């Protein structure tokens, strides 16, 4: 494999890692939207708005992770199919 092939492969790996990170963030945020929807008995649009308003766009990832951890901590493996 020449240097061009190596550089292309390294770039593909880096892009795959970035994609994995973005998808993990999106999944966590969507899970938090579901949590807030259930707690506030509102639709997903209002839940998203609540998450962003409360924490701002920059803090929404931290809030999403906090909510997921809170729910996971209290989850019962028999009742929650996502529980690990």
pLDDT at 12: 92
**Mean pLDDT, range 54-69, rounded to an integer:** 74
Measured CA to CA, the distance from residue 52 to residue 59 in angstroms comes to 8
- pLDDT of 34 above 80: yes
pLDDT of residue 41: 92
Q: Are 68 and 28 in contact (CB under 8 A)?
A: yes
What mean pLDDT do residues 54-81 have? Answer: 72
The two structure tokens encoding residue 80:
């929650």
Query: What is the domain partition of the chain in residue ranges?
Result: 43-75
């Amino acid at each position: 494999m020449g240097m061009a092939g190596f550089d292309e492969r390294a770039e593909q790996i880096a892009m795959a890692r970035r994609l994995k990170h973005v998808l993990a963030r999106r999944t966590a945020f969507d899970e938090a939207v579901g949590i807030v929807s259930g707690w506030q008995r509102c639709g997903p649009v209002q839940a998203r708005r609540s998450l962003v308003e409360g924490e701002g766009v920059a803090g929404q990832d931290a809030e999403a992770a906090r909510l997921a951890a809170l729910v996971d901590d209290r989850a019962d493996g028999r009742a929650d199919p996502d529980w690990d």
